[in-house]
Chain A
Amino acid sequence: MNLSDRIDSVLMQVQKPVRYMGGEFGSVMKDPADISVRYAFLFPDVYEVGMSHLGMKILYHAMNLREDTWCERVFTPWVDMEQQMREHQLPLFSLESRTPISEFDLLGITLQYEMSYTNILTSLDLAGIPLRQKDRTDGPFVICGGPCAYNAEPIADFVDLIVLGDGEQITLDLLDVYKDWRSSGAAREEFLKMAVKLQGVYAPSLYDVTYHTDGTIESVLPKRNSGAPERVYKALVNDLNGADFPDQLIVPYGEVVHNRIMLEIFRGCTRGCRFCQAGMIYRPVRERSVERLMGLAETLVHNTGYDEISLMSLSSGDYSCLPELAGDMITKFIDKRVKVSLPSMRIDSVIKDTLAQTQKVRKTALTLAPEAGSQRLRDVINKGVTEEDLIRSVHDAFEQGWSSVKLYFMIGLPTETDEDVMGIVDLASKVQRQYFSIPKSQRAPGLRITVSASVFVPKPFTPFQWSPQLDRETIVHRQGMLKHELSRIKGVDFKYHAPDLSFTEAVFATGDRRLGDVLELAWSLGCRFEGWSEQFRYDLWMQAFRELDVDPCFYACRTRDTDETLPWDHLDAGIDKEFLLREWDRAQQALITPDCRKGCANCGMKRYEGACL
């Protein structure tokens, strides 16, 4: 039996065979005989999650535009499929051509969340690729990108290259370097040395890390004669209008998490929320023009048949021409029965008109993220939003016929007290009162307020990178407090999670290379799909830390000294460490820093030519 038949013979035995099926409308098929570079793009989670990811769609499209390259998709097999593959000795394969991943030239992996790292090991192992970079003598080069690339030190030993920043151009440049390397006939390591000449490419194996006796980092320096830069700058695509954006998408057959057209209206964010890594690493703000977006929307609606468009960005309410864009979209597509939704609405944007228009088409829950319960704490995190903004927004929404509101908060933010947390209860009850202040005949029935409180995880390249995570006991205490108090408000649902997963996430988010062993051991003990709470095995993670004598608290529970060399200090996300330090200091004083559209905060992005015009 050939590989494809062998795959077919196990698909009957797994939960969701569609995950491994391929053959969707819009998936790209090419003749391998015409192809020079075979690129496998791994999203280290299941199909339904990975197929909802915009970055993968962008790079898939950009690479497949090239005649010399074929980019195919691969996802981490769910535990049942992994078991079948091991039992029947099936290698990890690409969806499009069902080619074993080990036969590809390059394996790109997107790092969207730390808790997907075990899935990377599962995928490499199933592919028959040695886990450790140093043990590989042939087979694909493993290249990682995505937000966690800014601190991928915990997986440094498992990867060949890490790409920082916007992927559209650098990914194509790397294909060229790969072809040059291959035709040169040079040794495997030479490819890494050639690749790091590109801005945005980091090869962890070309650096030596030394440590102080207290366990902190002494230095991270390029190896002698490696040619690797002391500092790795991120890749930046300045002109988003000119950058490739897919005009065709893969249309999945079954249900995926986000099954719609996702239009990225701009990249970056000017808000400067101090906890938010995305708001820092995706700087500066770069918008797509209304004209370009309308053109893309029209083409995509026609080419895919989707009846829903999401306008994506970190803060869609900040798009400079939002009323124009929303108005044009709704007018254009109302006859075609296409719904337009704005997912990450900010509460202080001028949204009233847009609200009135979106409801013509669709009315889902209004999602607001005050993040913290008290004004003091919102000032600490620089969430430049006041209670009045919030109340006005929900009042308007209720008046326009909304009855469902989701409020997102974090517990464990720096300087947080019990009083700050009780502010969440106060806000929820004020939101409820807004609803009841509207006469019954004028409001939609069925009030539903969902309060979600996640646990704060300090992230690299944010002003809170020096902060510890709040200790477990206090988190549990504050969650319990909220649960008790919120249960007394009619119409409020409270959602929260056990702190175990957030703790592990904090360790890996701010971790260094010494965590590679822990990761591998936890994986070999059976850790899989941590992002799925029913799969998460805290006990096995703690066992791995214990057995290797690594203290997870060293990473998650410690206030870092501002002079300390951080594991990611040799990487440059555009923003200055000086800026982060100033912001960390202002946070302690609960001083806000205005949105940089209202005045430059000197974050450092201006060092990049053409950025921040």
Chain B
Amino acid sequence: MRILFEFEKHARLRFISHLDLQRFMQMALRRTNLPVAYSQGFNPHPQMNFASALAMGWTSDCEILDVKMAEDITEDFAHQQMAAALPPDLPLRRVRCVDDSHPKTMAILMMADYEITLAGDGAEQVVNAIPGFLAETEVLAMRKTKSGEKQTDIRPMSVMLKSIQTDVGFRIDARLMLKETATLKPDLLLKVFAERAGLADLPAAVNIHRTKLLGLDQSCQPKDLFIL
């Protein structure tokens, strides 16, 4: 069986790289009494995957770690063991046992919701660029892919965008595509907004917080990846 662990990454730990988080989770699993399945070979490691890498500097409510077990256990046991192995700034939210045949979470991940907060000089201009962006049918931007930089139309990858003013600045709620063949990262989107607003730099205070990872249900509606 496999266990899906959903955990948060709080602001204090936002500078941890994905690689360091991977190492950390390997160690965290060793602190549990979970029957984790290890890879074969000279240097065995736990068989585990993340649904998605979280960029350094971002925070999240919904990271998913997918771990293979060597034997079946209950969700309660998994929850209790893992919760004790994580520090306060990486708290465990939900645990789900799935069958080995359950598709890999990274394979069925389609999109993600983000809360982007902006404050300081330029924040308002960035936010004001949203309606113009939404009115376009095509917006070309240089997107970094595995094979290098590529000119891509990012407009269709932006599924939903809305902005609100807050006490301290602005917040953009964004639903953006997040799958291997089409990913729009919020920092690229902000860069495009800033360019369209004629700004040289992004506002000084930008925070990117991931609130949901989503897949598609049978009727092609977005659905919480964790329960999909």
Contact = CB atoms under 8 A, between A and B. Distances in A.
B142 interface: no
B134 to A, nearest CB: 29
B87 A25 contact: yes
Contacts of B139: none
Interface stretch (B10-18, B67-75, B170-178): B10-18
B88 A11 contact: no
Contacts of A24: 87
Interface in A1-31: 8-9, 11-12, 17-18, 21-27, 29
Interface string B69-92: 000000000000000011111000
Residue from the set A25, A26, A304, A336 with the largest chain B CB neighbour count within 10 Å? A25
Between A26, A251, A304, the greatest number of chain B beta carbons within 10 A of the residue's beta carbon is seen for A251
Nearest to A26: B87
A56 B198 CA distance: 52
B16 A307 contact: no
Nearest to B86: A25
A253 B16 contact: yes
Interface residues of A, number: 26
A450 B88 CA distance: 44
A334 to B, nearest CB: 12
A11 B85 contact: no
A215 interface: no
B205 interface: yes
Given A12-B57, A25-B86, A29-B88, A305 B30 contact: yes
B89 A253 contact: no
A558 interface: no
Interface in B1-49: 10-13, 15-17, 20-21, 24, 26-31, 38, 44
Nearest to A301: B30
Nearest to B19: A254
B31 A303 contact: yes
Contact of A17 (B15, B21, B44): B15
A304 B31 contact: yes
A337 interface: yes
Contacts of B87: 23-27
A306 B89 contact: no
A302 B31 contact: yes
Given A9-B205, A305-B27, A253 B11 contact: no
A25 B26 CA distance: 13
B11 A8 contact: yes
Contacts of A18: 15-16, 20
A23 B88 contact: yes
Given A8-B11, A305-B85, A337-B44, A254 B31 contact: no
A9 B27 CA distance: 30
Interface string A146-162: 00000000000000000
Contacts of B88: 23, 29
B12 A23 contact: yes
Identify which of A8, A11, A305 gathers the most chain B CB atoms within 10 Å of its CB. Answer: A305
B46 to A, nearest CB: 10
Contacts of A253: 13, 16, 20-21, 24
Contacts of A254: 16-17, 20
A302 B27 CA distance: 10
Contacts of B21: 253
A11 B17 CA distance: 14
Interface in A496-524: none
B95 to A, nearest CB: 19
B71 to A, nearest CB: 16
B15 A21 contact: yes
Contact of A305 (B11, B31, B57): B31
Given A18-B15, A18-B16, A21-B13, A304 B27 contact: yes
Given A12-B57, A251-B27, 16 more contacts: A9-B204, A9-B205, A18-B16, A21-B12, A23-B13, A25-B31, A25-B85, A25-B87, A253-B13, A253-B20, A253-B24, A254-B17, A302-B31, A305-B31, A307-B30, A337-B38
Interface of A: 8-9, 11-12, 17-18, 21-27, 29, 251, 253-254, 301-307, 336-337
Interface of B: 10-13, 15-17, 20-21, 24, 26-31, 38, 44, 57, 85-89, 204-205
12 contacts: A11-B15, A12-B57, A18-B20, A21-B15, A23-B13, A251-B24, A253-B20, A253-B21, A253-B24, A303-B31, A305-B85, A337-B38
User: Closest 4 interchain pairs by CB?
Assistant: A305-B27, A305-B30, A17-B15, A305-B31
